[in-house]
Amino acid sequence: LKHLPHFSRNQVAEHYDDSRRIWVSFRRGVYDVTEFVAVHPGGSRILMAAGGSLEPFWELYPVHQKSDVFQILEKYRIGNLNEEDVVEAQEAVDHFKGEPMRHPALIRRADKPFNGETPPSLLTEKFHTPNDVFYVRNHLPVPQVDAKTYRLEIDGINLTETTFSLQDIKKFPKVSISATIQCGGNRRTEMGKDKVVAGLGWTGGAIGNAKWTGARLVDVLRSAGFKPEAYKHAKQLHVKFDGLDTDQSGECYGASVPLSYLLDGNFDAILAYEMNDKPIPIDHGFPVRIVLPGIVGARSVKWLSRVSISEEESQSPWQQRDYKVFSPSVSLETVDFSAAPPIMDTPVTSYICSHNNGDKVKKGPVKLQGYAFSGGGRGIVRVEISLDKGKTWNVARISDTANLESTKNWSWVLWEANVNIQANAEIWVKAVDSGYNQQPEDFNNIWNYRGLLSTAYHKIYLEAR
């Protein structure tokens, strides 16, 4: 690196847009990231650092503090900062102080922002996952919200701009639905086993099922003038959701879904203020989150501050770049983010929760337990187990929570199967949903660089003793 030229902070500062090239500094290095901007997974926020240093931004998004990101950055190195311009790391501002306590049983996958996974073995204990051990997936610091001053704003096409307090929302008819929320990255670790994927490693516990209680989104929208008929001839519109969690520049977490979901009488979008009959815990969106059942978890925005009907999707990176699935041949360096739509309904999946890969079991009868779930309101028809790599299959018993005549199967089913293990065995599980969709046998052809929708058969190896 010594052979590279030296630059001053002022020289870096001159390069802050495309016409002058985009330079940033990090520690002792100077980088020309002009070409990287278009493929940056975090979107145009990267430009906030243009002409300056990355340190303050990467403190807020510690997802960058790892070797694969450093390697990407090094590819763009053009020089070194003048010695006198290298400032020692300033005392870090902790944007994450004041975060809520977390139950020690949650498996910590990241601290800042906090991400914790439910130990899969707990998931099958109850149909409704207890709040304290429900997985947490945060992208930004948790906002501190006072229920008394909390306001939800509603605005957009054909709506009268209206503001609601928590008390206002509680005046609408109170409805409850049971619904499973699953992260698009659930089971990512399995997909990354043979070929590396980018993102937080989760086993099968980035999923949970809860009773969500609150007001129907359409009821609240109606009081702001929402009339489904008014959108009949409109072109594709979107319902955007903003969270109160923001980064330094005030950009918030955001997501959207096509308006057609709300116009479909079958869909249940709930402005939830209770989770399993208790006020929603801080980590899960206190005081109000939107619950969009059957749709990937990323759209169920927590700490909801605003709902609007718009001609455009949410422009947040979690809508435009992350939570999209690309072809197996696409990499972080070649991706065209506009080539795939954001994930909405999720495909069928199943998981063995009772045992881990490599567990030792006593020869004889073994009870296997797990969950199966499909998005889009599709129910689970069947869960099947094989002990001989698919030559023969046994049907598992499933909880009676699926109603295959309904198009609103928003919850998972729990399943169990007794098998007789006499020798070391590989156990496979797969599920069939009410669209007769089945899981792929392995990850080869569904592999995607982000490790999303990792839904191949779950396979574990049990050693017989």
Query: Would strands 380-386 and 394-395 be described as parallel, antiparallel, or unpaired?
Result: antiparallel
Helix (H, G, I), strand (E, B) or coil at 459: strand
Q: Which stretch binds ligand MTE (CB under 6 A): 19-27, 132-140, 154-162, 438-446?
A: 132-140
CA distance readout (Å), 163 to 223, 227, 248, 252 = 11, 18, 25, 19
Q: Which stretch binds ligand HEM (CB under 6 A): 65-73, 205-213, 235-243, 342-350?
A: 65-73
Which pair of structure tokens corresponds to residue 29? 């290095």
Pick one of 85, 245, 322, 433: the residue that binds ligand HEM (CB under 6 A): 322
Q: Which stretch binds ligand MTE (CB under 6 A): 89-97, 128-136, 166-174, 212-220?
A: 128-136
Examine residue 255 and tell whether it contacts ligand HEM (CB under 6 A). no
The candidate with the shortest Cα–Cα distance to 319, out of 258, 362, 271, is 258
Closest distance between ligand HEM and the C-beta of residue 63, in Å? Answer: 5
Distance between CA 108 and CA 119 in Å, rounded? 10
Q: Give the alpha-carbon dihedral of 46, 52, 53, 59, to 10 degrees.
A: -50
Catalytic residue among 21, 28, 45, 64: 64
Closest distance between ligand HEM and the C-beta of residue 169, in Å? Answer: 28
Q: Which stretch binds ligand HEM (CB under 6 A): 67-75, 291-299, 349-357, 438-446?
A: 67-75
Does residue 15 carry a catalytic annotation?
A: no
Examine residue 412 and tell whether it contacts ligand MTE (CB under 6 A). no
Q: Provide the H-helix boundaries in 150-259.
A: 166-170, 188-191, 217-222
Q: Which does 25 bind (CB under 5 to 8 A by kind): ligand MTE, ligand HEM, none?
A: none
Q: Which is nearer to ligand HEM, 75 or 151 (CB)?
A: 75
Residue nearest to ligand HEM (CB): 42
Q: Which stretch binds ligand MTE (CB under 6 A): 98-106, 138-146, 359-367, 425-433?
A: 138-146
Residue holding tokens 């925005």?
A: 301
Taking a C-beta distance cutoff of 8 angstroms, is the pair 361, 451 a contact?
no
Q: Provide the H-helix boundaries in 405-453.
A: none
Which pair of structure tokens corresponds to residue 352? 């063995």
**H/E element, 272:** strand 270-275
Closest distance between ligand MTE and the C-beta of residue 28, in Å? Answer: 33
Tell me the one-letter amino acid at 414.
L
Pick one of 199, 243, 287, 294: the residue that binds ligand HEM (CB under 6 A): 199
Long-range contacts (CB closer than 8 Å, 24 or more residues apart) made by 31-40: 31/73, 31/76, 31/77, 31/78, 32/76, 32/78, 33/73, 33/76, 35/76, 36/72, 36/76, 39/332, 39/333, 39/334, 39/335, 39/337, 40/321
Examine residue 102 and tell whether it contacts ligand HEM (CB under 6 A). no
Q: Which is nearer to ligand MTE, 315 or 407 (CB)?
A: 315
Examine residue 72 and tell whether it contacts ligand HEM (CB under 6 A). yes
The candidate with the shortest Cα–Cα distance to 201, out of 209, 212, 190, is 190
Catalytic residue among 261, 273, 323, 371: 323
Examine residue 213 and tell whether it contacts ligand MTE (CB under 6 A). no
Taking a C-beta distance cutoff of 8 angstroms, is the pair 102, 134 a contact?
no
Residue nearest to ligand MTE (CB): 243
Closest distance between ligand HEM and the C-beta of residue 12, in Å? Answer: 12
Distance between CA 144 and CA 141 in Å, rounded? 9
Pick one of 12, 54, 177, 396: the residue that binds ligand HEM (CB under 6 A): 54
Does residue 323 carry a catalytic annotation?
A: yes
Catalytic residue among 9, 21, 28, 40: 40
Binding positions for ligand MTE, 302-341, rule CB under 6 A: 302-303
Examine residue 243 and tell whether it contacts ligand MTE (CB under 6 A). yes
Binding site for ligand HEM (CB under 6 A): 24, 33, 36, 40-42, 45-46, 48-49, 54, 57, 61, 63-64, 69, 72-73, 139, 198-199, 317, 322
Binding site for ligand MTE (CB under 6 A): 134-140, 181, 183, 243, 245, 253, 284, 297-298, 300-303
Which residues are catalytic, by number? 40, 64, 137, 183, 323
